[in-house]
Amino acid sequence: MQPSERRNQTQTIWQQQYESGNKRTIWAAMKRLGPYLEGLKLRWFFGMLAAVGAGIMALSIPQALGSVVDNIESDDATTMVVWIGGGIILILGIIEAVMVFLRRFLVLPPASDAETSMRTTLFNRLIFQPAAFHAAWDAGQLQSRAIADLNMLRRFFAFGSIMIVTQSVTIVVGFTLMFINSPLLAAIFLCAAIPIMVLGPRFRMKFIHFSRSSQDKAGDVATKVEESVHGIRVLKAFGRGDHARHDFRREAGQLRHLEVAKARTLASFQFLMILLPEGILAFCLLTGLWQVGQGTVTPGTLTAFFATAVVLKQPIEGIGMLLSQVFMAKTSLDRHIDVMDIEPAIVSPDEPKTAQERGLVQLHDVHFRFPDQKSSDRDLIDGVTLRIEPGETMALVSHTGGGTSTLLNLVPRLYDVTGGSITIDGVDVRDYSLPDLRSRITVAFEDPTLFSASVRANVLLGTGHQRDDDDPSHPYRAAAPSDEQLDEVLTSALHTADAEFVENLPEQVDTRIGEEGLSLSGGQRQRLALARAIAPNPSVLLLDDPLSALDVRTEERVTERLREVLDGTTTLIVAHRPSTVALADRVALLHEGKIADVGTHTELLERSELYRKVMAPPRPSGQDLMNSVAEEVRP
């Protein structure tokens, strides 16, 4: 897939997701949290009760204070009134503090548990998505969903969801007490809610738009960082550091613009939420003093009213912030749902089949086309029929871009055929369970990917060197080899791939290599990837141009050792050089999506002009010949 096509496909996906997220209500989105909160709801409920209790205690203090003020003004008042009132207020304050502690104690652990559950569930979904899914999604977008979005949901679950309920109860109870103290003052104070009710929906729509856009743009920025870090050597080699910096600055500037727009939207609403109550309180003060002068309310009642208003000030002013958190949490949840609602296209069958491992591979009229191909284009794989006998080594040869690597990826179901079938030992690969199928096959890709782990862990990745407690029935895990057996396998695989260079590493096979193995040369990475493919001793081995990064002498050594290892293993090799083709018992020539000819290397050279063109080395230019002659005669 071309970068522009991938970008267009990704933008289409995001547009569809944005539209579906807008149609999903907040309540419908929040209901999707249910599976992650199983077993945690009781603690959350008691934490919410503790928070509500703290709010009620905070509202009780002004009532006690008002009672103290009225009692002090009575004719028979004594200092005991102050002490008793102060003691009651102190006790209420201590109870409020305990309630706040209980809220945090009860809610924070389940919030972290819910975040962990969501993160592991998302990772499981990503792991089992097919290659086509990851080709359409930028890695930075998936990273932002797995980290930033889930952090936001944890904060909402631990704080926002509790405080929405708590502050709603606090406001309702507070206004009730204010109406009891002075219906007139409470009615005046309530007038501040009218503009908020009118402008609130407009704030919601604008904030949700900026929130979603900024979170998507944050994913783009994360993708830029990842691409630049992974491609740092290319950027330096081509002197394109300034270009990368310019691109990143543009993406970061767009993110800044969206964040500033979001902050301005929130600030405008917060300005309204603070200004209205403060202005109304000033008017209430004048009216209250007039009522005290008229004798319709007592000083203690007025004190209780304004003390209650002070308690309500924080919940009222915090409504804007809480609403923004609700909307951001809804956006984060929508983005999480976007991924979770995409069911893996390649899964194990409900009733998998199995067969004795012999290594017979058959392709029956296999067709394949990418989903984004034009309908007028022919299938990339356009009717391939081929039989590879157990223990046979078959080379696949074609012009560059001819589809040999894609054909190789169809065998372990990294992609699924769009027509025809592939069978291993007489069973369609789609009828195997995925663990069973992929335990029979190992792959060495042309572009070797290594993990940020030790050499040992990378090479023994497919040998069952670690048990999987979550899936004890996995074929790799049924009987994990002993340490002695693994050491033998590791040594043999490294020797076959001519990777003894690991002995010169600081900690030899226990040396931790950098991310994607960038601390190693291209040839070293390719040899470790080849050793990783050999180590499990599979019945079917798939090699995608495995020696392309090796020098001539290293290639000769590896080729000679591979001949011994491949004896008895069914092997498919994508080859572009005669030295690699020499490993094969037979060669299949792929041309325009079909098998044009099959035979030995010698036979095809004799009878196929197309094969000779494919395998012919590039003809040197006149300038190259002059340079070679000059090099020969140079003293």
pLDDT, tens only, 447-506: 787 887 888 888 888 776 554 444 444 444 445 567 778 888 888 888 888 888 888 888
Q: Is the pLDDT of residue 74 over 60?
A: yes
> Per mean pLDDT, which range of 228-242, 289-303, 388-402, 506-520 is the poorest?
228-242
pLDDT of residue 480: 59
**Do the Cβ atoms of 182 and 240 come closer than 8 Å?**
no
Consecutive H or E run containing 395: strand 393-397
The string over 129-164, giving b where at least 16 C-beta atoms fall within 10 Å of a residue's C-beta and e elsewhere, is: beebbebbbbebbbbbbbeebbebbbbbbbbbbbbb
Which positions ≥6 away from 450 have C-beta within 8 Å? 458, 513, 516, 517, 520, 525, 528, 529
Q: Is the pLDDT of residue 429 over 90?
A: yes
Amino acid making up residue 168: S
Q: Where are the alpha helices (DSSP H) in 412-551?
A: 434-439, 455-459, 483-496, 522-534
φ/ψ bin of 423: left (φ > 0), alpha (ψ from -120 to 50), beta (otherwise):
beta
Looking at per-residue pLDDT, the higher value among 442 and 200 belongs to: 442
pLDDT of residue 627: 43
> Per mean pLDDT, which range of 101-110, 199-208, 259-268, 303-312 is the poorest?
199-208
Q: How confident is the model at residue 234 (pLDDT cuts 50, 70, 90)?
A: low
Torsion over CA: 218, 223, 229, 232 (sign): negative
Delimit the domains of the chain by residue range. Answer: 14-340, 354-440+539-635, 449-537
Instruction: Give the CA radius of gyration of the chain.
Output: 35
Average pLDDT of the chain is 80
**Do the Cβ atoms of 490 and 496 come closer than 8 Å?**
no
For residue 139, how many C-alpha atoms fall within 13 Å in the half-sphere facing its CB?
Answer: 10
Tokens 């090699």 — which residue? 543
Question: Strand, coil or helix: what is 60?
Answer: helix
Q: Name the CATH superfamily, with its identifier, for domain 449-537.
A: P-loop containing nucleotide triphosphate hydrolases (3.40.50.300)
pLDDT tens sequence across 575-594 = 888 877 877 889 999 998 99
**Do the Cβ atoms of 475 and 436 come closer than 8 Å?**
yes
Amino acid making up residue 390: P
Q: How confident is the model at residue 7 (pLDDT cuts 50, 70, 90)?
A: very low
Can you tell me the distance from the alpha carbon of 462 to that of 445, in angstroms, rounded to the nearest whole number?
14
Q: Of 88-102, 272-286, 316-330, 561-575, where does the model show the most confidence?
A: 88-102
Decide whether 14-340 matches 354-440+539-635 in CATH topology.
no
**Do the Cβ atoms of 182 and 297 come closer than 8 Å?**
yes
Q: Is the pLDDT of residue 384 over 90?
A: yes
Nearest to 457 by CA among 466, 468, 449: 466
Mean pLDDT value across residues 343-369: 91
Amino acid making up residue 295: G
pLDDT of residue 361: 93
Question: Cβ of 235: how many Cβ atoms within 10 Å?
Answer: 17
Can you tell me the distance from the alpha carbon of 393 to that of 134, in angstroms, rounded to the nearest whole number?
31
Q: Is the pLDDT of residue 549 over 80?
A: no
Question: Cβ of 613: how many Cβ atoms within 10 Å?
Answer: 9
3-state secondary structure string across 77-140: CCHHHHHHHHHHHHHHHHHHHHHHHHHHHHHHHHHHHHHHHHHHHHHHHHHCCCHHHHHHCCHH
Can you tell me the distance from the alpha carbon of 429 to that of 542, in angstroms, rounded to the nearest whole number?
15
In Å, the largest CA–CA distance within the chain is 124
Looking at per-residue pLDDT, the higher value among 585 and 310 belongs to: 585
CATH number at 14-340: 1.20.1560.10
The string over 186-225, giving b where at least 16 C-beta atoms fall within 10 Å of a residue's C-beta and e elsewhere, is: bebbeebbeebeeebeebbebbbbbbbbbbbbbbbbbbbe
pLDDT of residue 588: 93
**Do the Cβ atoms of 277 and 316 come closer than 8 Å?**
yes
Q: Of 46-55, 281-290, 558-567, where does the model show the most confidence?
A: 46-55
Nearest to 550 by CA among 541, 559, 560: 559
Tokens 């004048």 — which residue? 286
Mean pLDDT value across residues 595-600: 92
Q: Is the pLDDT of residue 220 over 50?
A: yes
Q: Is the pLDDT of residue 402 over 60?
A: yes
Q: Is the pLDDT of residue 2 over 80?
A: no
pLDDT of residue 198: 66
Tokens 């959350």 — which residue? 44
Tell me which of 3.90.550.10, 3.40.50.300, 3.40.50.1820, 3.30.310.50 is the CATH number of domain 354-440+539-635: 3.40.50.300
Question: Strand, coil or helix: what is 15?
Answer: helix
Q: How confident is the model at residue 422 (pLDDT cuts 50, 70, 90)?
A: very high
pLDDT of residue 470: 46
